[in-house]
């Protein structure tokens, strides 16, 4: 089977990552999968978490930490974990982040994941 034909899995993304970064991924994965209706879709570049309406977050362990993105209805610039914020649609902003320790996955971070999950559920489409 050629590289282009390969089906990617979560384990493929985790295989060569430092164990401490895999642990960070597992913490976030556990939180997201505890939310109602969340599914996982894996591609070569990222692990995407989807709600009933759309994907709302993605992630992968790297050598520097755990990097990912989440879609929110507002732009957040004052969180040190956020590396970049960009408009995604007229209603959504994609936030790229990096976490490097368990302390980074605090209540605030989890609340942003929950807010992104609401986007995945389509709440941003309701007036």
Indicate whether 11 belongs to any domain: yes
Q: Looking at residue 1, what is its pLDDT?
A: 45
Indicate the number of domains in the chain.
1
Read off the CATH number of the domain in which 114 is found: 3.90.1150
**Is 77 part of a structural domain of the chain?**
yes
Angle ∠(86,89,122) on CA atoms, nearest 5: 115
In a domain, 127, yes or no: no
Residue 19 lies in a domain: yes
Domain that holds residue 72: 3-122
Q: Is 115 within a domain?
A: yes
Over residues 100-125, the pLDDT tens digits come to 999 999 999 999 999 999 999 998 88
pLDDT 10s digits, 56-107: 999 988 888 999 999 999 999 999 999 999 998 888 999 999 999 999 999 9
Q: How many angstroms separate the Cα of 3 from the Cα of each of 7, 44, 57, 75?
A: 9, 10, 25, 37
Q: What is the pLDDT of residues 39-62, one digit of tens each?
A: 999 999 999 999 999 999 999 888
> Is there a domain that residue 99 lies in?
yes
Is 65 among the domain residues? yes
Residue 89 domain flag: yes
Q: Is the pLDDT of residue 5 over 60?
A: no
């Amino acid at each position: 089977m050629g590289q282009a034909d390969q089906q990617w899995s979560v384990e493929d993304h985790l295989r060569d990552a430092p164990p401490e970064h895999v642990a960070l991924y597992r913490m976030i994965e556990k939180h997201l999968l505890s939310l109602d209706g969340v599914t996982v879709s894996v591609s070569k570049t990222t692990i995407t978490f989807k709600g009933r309406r759309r994907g709302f977050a993605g992630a992968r362990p790297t050598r520097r930490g755990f990097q990912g993105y989440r879609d929110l209805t507002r732009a957040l610039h004052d969180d040190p974990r956020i590396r970049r914020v960009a408009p995604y649609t007229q209603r959504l902003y994609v936030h790229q982040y990096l976490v490097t320790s368990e302390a980074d996955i605090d209540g605030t971070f989890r609340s942003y994941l929950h807010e992104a999950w609401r986007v995945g559920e389509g709440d941003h489409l309701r007036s």
